[in-house]
Protein backbone atom coordinates (compact mmCIF):
# COMPACT_ATOMS: atom_id res chain seq x y z
CA UNK A 1 0.00 0.00 0.00
CA UNK A 2 1.24 3.46 -0.94
CA UNK A 3 0.52 6.56 1.10
CA UNK A 4 1.42 10.19 0.52
CA UNK A 5 1.52 12.50 3.52
CA UNK A 6 1.28 16.05 2.26
CA UNK A 7 2.78 18.97 4.18
CA UNK A 8 3.45 17.08 7.39
CA UNK A 9 5.85 18.51 9.95
CA UNK A 10 8.92 16.27 10.26
CA UNK A 11 10.71 16.14 13.60
CA UNK A 12 13.86 14.08 14.22
CA UNK A 13 16.14 15.03 17.11
CA UNK A 14 18.99 12.79 15.90
CA UNK A 15 19.35 14.57 12.56
CA UNK A 16 18.13 17.94 13.82
CA UNK A 17 15.23 17.87 11.36
CA UNK A 18 12.32 20.27 11.81
CA UNK A 19 10.63 21.02 8.50
CA UNK A 20 7.34 20.72 6.63
CA UNK A 21 7.46 18.36 3.65
CA UNK A 22 5.68 15.69 1.63
CA UNK A 23 6.45 12.07 2.52
CA UNK A 24 5.82 9.09 0.24
CA UNK A 25 5.47 5.72 1.98
CA UNK A 26 5.27 2.27 0.37
CA UNK A 27 4.46 -0.82 2.44
CA UNK A 28 5.34 1.03 5.63
CA UNK A 29 8.74 2.21 4.37
CA UNK A 30 9.53 5.85 3.57
CA UNK A 31 10.47 6.16 -0.11
CA UNK A 32 10.84 9.90 -0.56
CA UNK A 33 10.86 13.14 1.41
CA UNK A 34 10.55 16.32 -0.64
CA UNK A 35 9.35 19.86 -0.09
CA UNK A 36 6.61 18.97 -2.59
CA UNK A 37 5.98 15.65 -4.32
CA UNK A 38 4.14 16.09 -7.62
CA UNK A 39 4.01 12.53 -8.95
CA UNK A 40 3.01 9.32 -7.18
CA UNK A 41 1.66 5.81 -8.06
CA UNK A 42 -2.02 5.55 -8.98
CA UNK A 43 -2.94 3.37 -6.00
CA UNK A 44 -1.58 5.93 -3.52
CA UNK A 45 -3.73 7.17 -0.66
CA UNK A 46 -3.18 10.93 -0.37
CA UNK A 47 -3.62 12.59 3.00
CA UNK A 48 -3.49 16.27 3.88
CA UNK A 49 -1.33 16.39 7.04
CA UNK A 50 -1.14 20.11 7.63
CA UNK A 51 -0.83 20.64 11.39
CA UNK A 52 0.23 17.03 12.03
CA UNK A 53 3.66 15.78 13.12
CA UNK A 54 5.66 12.80 11.87
CA UNK A 55 8.63 11.72 13.95
CA UNK A 56 10.24 8.85 15.85
CA UNK A 57 8.01 7.04 18.32
CA UNK A 58 7.82 8.68 21.72
CA UNK A 59 9.00 6.91 24.88
CA UNK A 60 7.54 7.42 28.37
CA UNK A 61 9.99 6.16 30.96
CA UNK A 62 7.63 6.66 33.90
CA UNK A 63 4.06 5.65 33.12
CA UNK A 64 1.56 5.22 35.95
CA UNK A 65 -0.92 2.39 35.38
CA UNK A 66 -4.23 1.84 37.13
CA UNK A 67 -3.92 -1.88 36.44
CA UNK A 68 -3.82 -3.69 38.80
CA UNK A 69 -5.73 -2.09 41.65
CA UNK A 70 -7.45 0.87 40.04
CA UNK A 71 -9.02 -0.66 36.95
CA UNK A 72 -12.09 1.58 37.26
CA UNK A 73 -9.74 4.45 36.49
CA UNK A 74 -7.58 2.80 33.85
CA UNK A 75 -6.61 -0.63 32.58
CA UNK A 76 -3.43 -1.69 30.88
CA UNK A 77 -5.47 -1.95 27.68
CA UNK A 78 -6.85 1.59 27.87
CA UNK A 79 -3.41 2.92 28.83
CA UNK A 80 -1.87 1.24 25.79
CA UNK A 81 -4.58 2.58 23.51
CA UNK A 82 -4.12 6.12 24.82
CA UNK A 83 -0.36 5.85 24.41
CA UNK A 84 -0.64 4.60 20.83
CA UNK A 85 -3.04 7.44 19.99
CA UNK A 86 -0.50 9.91 21.35
CA UNK A 87 2.41 8.55 19.32
CA UNK A 88 4.11 6.57 22.10
CA UNK A 89 5.75 3.32 21.00
CA UNK A 90 7.35 2.35 24.32
CA UNK A 91 6.20 2.69 27.92
CA UNK A 92 7.98 1.81 31.15
CA UNK A 93 5.37 1.15 33.84
CA UNK A 94 6.16 2.31 37.37
CA UNK A 95 5.62 -0.29 40.11
CA UNK A 96 3.23 1.77 42.29
CA UNK A 97 0.21 -0.37 41.39
CA UNK A 98 -1.94 -2.25 43.90
CA UNK A 99 -0.45 -4.70 44.56
CA UNK A 100 2.90 -3.19 43.69
CA UNK A 101 5.30 -4.80 41.23
CA UNK A 102 7.49 -5.89 44.12
CA UNK A 103 7.74 -9.63 43.45
CA UNK A 104 8.15 -11.90 40.40
CA UNK A 105 4.52 -13.10 40.51
CA UNK A 106 3.15 -9.57 40.18
CA UNK A 107 5.53 -8.95 37.30
CA UNK A 108 4.60 -12.24 35.59
CA UNK A 109 0.90 -11.31 35.53
CA UNK A 110 1.61 -8.11 33.64
CA UNK A 111 4.12 -9.77 31.33
CA UNK A 112 1.52 -12.41 30.46
CA UNK A 113 -1.11 -9.78 29.70
CA UNK A 114 1.18 -7.65 27.56
CA UNK A 115 1.21 -9.77 24.35
CA UNK A 116 -2.61 -9.72 24.23
CA UNK A 117 -2.50 -5.94 23.79
CA UNK A 118 -0.87 -6.12 20.36
CA UNK A 119 -0.77 -4.00 18.28
CA UNK A 120 0.20 -1.57 21.00
CA UNK A 121 3.26 0.12 22.48
CA UNK A 122 6.01 -2.11 23.80
CA UNK A 123 5.71 -2.25 27.58
CA UNK A 124 8.55 -2.50 30.05
CA UNK A 125 8.11 -2.79 33.81
CA UNK A 126 10.05 -1.21 36.64
CA UNK A 127 10.59 -3.36 39.70
CA UNK A 128 9.90 -1.81 43.09
CA UNK A 129 12.85 -0.93 45.29
CA UNK A 130 10.83 -1.40 48.47
CA UNK A 131 7.91 -3.63 49.45
CA UNK A 132 4.63 -1.96 48.53
CA UNK A 133 6.71 1.07 47.42
CA UNK A 134 6.44 2.20 51.05
CA UNK A 135 10.13 2.99 51.48
CA UNK A 136 10.55 0.72 54.49
CA UNK A 137 11.90 -2.69 53.43
CA UNK A 138 13.87 -3.89 50.42
CA UNK A 139 12.27 -6.15 47.85
CA UNK A 140 13.96 -9.31 46.61
CA UNK A 141 16.01 -7.35 44.09
CA UNK A 142 17.81 -10.36 42.64
CA UNK A 143 14.55 -12.23 41.99
CA UNK A 144 13.02 -9.22 40.25
CA UNK A 145 16.13 -8.66 38.16
CA UNK A 146 16.11 -12.30 37.06
CA UNK A 147 12.39 -12.09 36.28
CA UNK A 148 12.99 -9.36 33.72
CA UNK A 149 12.30 -5.93 35.18
CA UNK A 150 13.78 -3.14 33.07
CA UNK A 151 15.18 -1.47 36.17
CA UNK A 152 14.30 -0.41 39.70
CA UNK A 153 12.26 2.53 40.97
CA UNK A 154 9.57 3.26 43.52
CA UNK A 155 8.14 6.33 41.82
CA UNK A 156 8.03 7.86 45.30
CA UNK A 157 10.69 9.68 47.33
CA UNK A 158 12.83 7.41 49.49
CA UNK A 159 13.62 9.24 52.73
CA UNK A 160 15.39 6.45 54.65
CA UNK A 161 19.03 7.16 53.76
CA UNK A 162 20.33 4.01 55.46
CA UNK A 163 17.97 1.93 53.33
CA UNK A 164 18.94 3.89 50.22
CA UNK A 165 22.59 3.15 50.88
CA UNK A 166 21.92 -0.59 51.18
CA UNK A 167 19.85 -0.54 48.00
CA UNK A 168 22.64 1.09 46.01
CA UNK A 169 25.14 -1.43 47.38
CA UNK A 170 22.94 -4.41 46.52
CA UNK A 171 22.03 -3.10 43.07
CA UNK A 172 25.53 -2.30 41.85
CA UNK A 173 26.38 -5.80 40.53
CA UNK A 174 23.16 -6.09 38.53
CA UNK A 175 23.80 -3.15 36.22
CA UNK A 176 20.08 -2.39 35.98
CA UNK A 177 18.88 1.23 35.74
CA UNK A 178 17.96 2.77 39.10
CA UNK A 179 15.58 5.75 38.98
CA UNK A 180 15.07 7.88 42.07
CA UNK A 181 12.91 10.90 42.84
CA UNK A 182 14.83 13.16 45.21
CA UNK A 183 12.52 14.90 47.67
CA UNK A 184 12.57 15.42 51.43
CA UNK A 185 8.93 15.21 52.52
CA UNK A 186 9.76 16.73 55.89
CA UNK A 187 10.75 19.94 54.12
CA UNK A 188 7.89 20.12 51.61
CA UNK A 189 5.32 20.64 54.37
CA UNK A 190 1.95 21.60 52.93
CA UNK A 191 3.47 23.58 50.07
CA UNK A 192 1.47 23.57 46.84
CA UNK A 193 3.86 25.63 44.69
CA UNK A 194 7.56 26.43 44.64
CA UNK A 195 8.50 28.82 47.42
CA UNK A 196 9.43 32.28 46.15
CA UNK A 197 8.04 35.67 45.22
CA UNK A 198 5.11 34.19 43.31
CA UNK A 199 3.98 32.01 46.22
CA UNK A 200 3.93 35.15 48.39
CA UNK A 201 2.02 37.21 45.80
CA UNK A 202 -0.56 34.47 45.20
CA UNK A 203 -0.91 33.68 48.89
CA UNK A 204 -0.18 29.97 48.44
CA UNK A 205 1.94 27.77 50.74
CA UNK A 206 5.46 27.40 49.36
CA UNK A 207 7.49 24.24 48.88
CA UNK A 208 11.18 25.22 49.31
CA UNK A 209 13.76 24.29 46.69
CA UNK A 210 15.91 22.69 49.39
CA UNK A 211 13.32 19.91 49.72
CA UNK A 212 14.76 18.71 46.40
CA UNK A 213 18.34 19.93 46.48
CA UNK A 214 19.17 18.55 49.93
CA UNK A 215 17.98 15.10 48.80
CA UNK A 216 19.96 15.35 45.55
CA UNK A 217 23.10 16.34 47.46
CA UNK A 218 22.75 13.37 49.82
CA UNK A 219 22.21 10.97 46.92
CA UNK A 220 25.24 12.28 45.03
CA UNK A 221 27.43 11.70 48.08
CA UNK A 222 26.28 8.07 48.17
CA UNK A 223 26.81 7.58 44.44
CA UNK A 224 30.34 8.95 44.75
CA UNK A 225 31.08 6.54 47.61
CA UNK A 226 29.37 3.44 46.18
CA UNK A 227 29.62 3.91 42.41
CA UNK A 228 26.15 2.65 41.42
CA UNK A 229 24.68 4.37 38.36
CA UNK A 230 21.55 6.37 39.17
CA UNK A 231 19.00 8.30 37.16
CA UNK A 232 17.41 11.23 39.00
CA UNK A 233 13.76 11.74 38.06
CA UNK A 234 11.66 14.91 38.11
CA UNK A 235 14.41 17.48 38.60
CA UNK A 236 12.66 20.83 39.03
CA UNK A 237 15.15 23.34 40.48
CA UNK A 238 18.04 25.28 38.95
CA UNK A 239 20.22 24.36 41.93
CA UNK A 240 19.39 20.70 41.37
CA UNK A 241 20.54 21.02 37.75
CA UNK A 242 23.74 22.69 38.96
CA UNK A 243 24.49 19.93 41.47
CA UNK A 244 23.97 17.25 38.82
CA UNK A 245 26.18 19.08 36.31
CA UNK A 246 28.96 19.32 38.88
CA UNK A 247 28.60 15.62 39.69
CA UNK A 248 28.84 14.66 36.02
CA UNK A 249 31.94 16.82 35.64
CA UNK A 250 33.49 14.81 38.49
CA UNK A 251 32.74 11.65 36.55
CA UNK A 252 29.86 10.35 38.66
CA UNK A 253 27.54 7.87 36.85
CA UNK A 254 24.51 10.17 37.01
CA UNK A 255 21.78 11.01 34.51
CA UNK A 256 18.66 13.08 35.09
CA UNK A 257 15.35 14.14 33.58
CA UNK A 258 12.42 16.45 34.17
CA UNK A 259 8.81 16.54 32.98
CA UNK A 260 7.43 18.38 29.99
CA UNK A 261 5.34 20.58 32.30
CA UNK A 262 8.48 21.78 34.09
CA UNK A 263 10.03 22.64 30.72
CA UNK A 264 7.06 24.68 29.51
CA UNK A 265 5.49 26.15 32.66
CA UNK A 266 6.62 27.86 35.84
CA UNK A 267 5.13 29.55 38.90
CA UNK A 268 3.76 32.40 36.79
CA UNK A 269 1.10 29.94 35.60
CA UNK A 270 -0.25 29.74 39.16
CA UNK A 271 -2.04 33.06 38.65
CA UNK A 272 -4.91 31.02 37.20
CA UNK A 273 -5.25 29.00 40.44
CA UNK A 274 -5.78 25.98 38.19
CA UNK A 275 -5.72 22.95 40.49
CA UNK A 276 -4.43 20.75 37.66
CA UNK A 277 -1.13 22.61 38.05
CA UNK A 278 -0.80 21.41 41.65
CA UNK A 279 1.75 18.74 40.78
CA UNK A 280 4.73 17.01 42.41
CA UNK A 281 7.33 18.36 42.36
CA UNK A 282 5.70 21.78 42.01
CA UNK A 283 6.34 23.98 39.01
CA UNK A 284 9.58 25.86 39.46
CA UNK A 285 10.28 29.56 39.47
CA UNK A 286 11.12 31.11 36.07
CA UNK A 287 14.86 30.64 36.73
CA UNK A 288 14.25 26.92 37.38
CA UNK A 289 12.46 26.47 34.06
CA UNK A 290 15.23 28.24 32.14
CA UNK A 291 17.88 26.04 33.77
pLDDT digit string (tens) for the chain, length 291 residues:
899 999 999 999 999 999 999 999 999 899 999 999 999 999 999 999 999 999 999 999 999 999 999 999 999 999 999 999 999 999 999 999 999 999 999 999 999 887 766 677 999 999 999 999 999 999 999 999 999 999 999 999 999 999 999 999 999 999 999 999 999 999 998 999 999 999 999 999 999 999 999 999 999 999 999 999 999 999 999 999 999 999 999 999 999 999 999 999 999 998 889 999 999 999 999 999 999
The angle that helices 161-171 and 210-226 make with each other, rounded to 10 degrees, is 40
2: three-class secondary structure by DSSP: strand
Opening angle at CA 192, ends 188 and 194, nearest 5:
70
Non-local CB neighbours of 126 within 8 Å, separated by 6+ positions: 92, 93, 94, 95, 101, 149, 150, 151, 152, 153, 155, 179
Fold type of domain 2-54: Urease, subunit C; domain 1 (2.30.40)
Cβ contact 5:47 at 8 Å: yes
For β-strands 88-93 and 230-233, DSSP reports them as unpaired
The CATH-assigned architecture of domain 58-290 is: Alpha-Beta Barrel (3.20)
Q: How far apart are CA 199 and CA 202, in angstroms?
A: 5
Domain range annotation of the chain: 2-54, 58-290
Q: What pTM was computed for the model?
A: 0.90
Amino acid sequence: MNELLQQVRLLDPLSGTDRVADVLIADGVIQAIEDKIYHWPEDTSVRDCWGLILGPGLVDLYSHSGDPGFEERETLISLSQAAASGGFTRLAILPDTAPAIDNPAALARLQKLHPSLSPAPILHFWGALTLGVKGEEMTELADLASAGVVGFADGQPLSNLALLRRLLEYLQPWGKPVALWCCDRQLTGNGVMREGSHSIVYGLPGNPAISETSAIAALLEMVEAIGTSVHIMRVSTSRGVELIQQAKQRGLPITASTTWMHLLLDTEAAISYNTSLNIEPPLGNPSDRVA
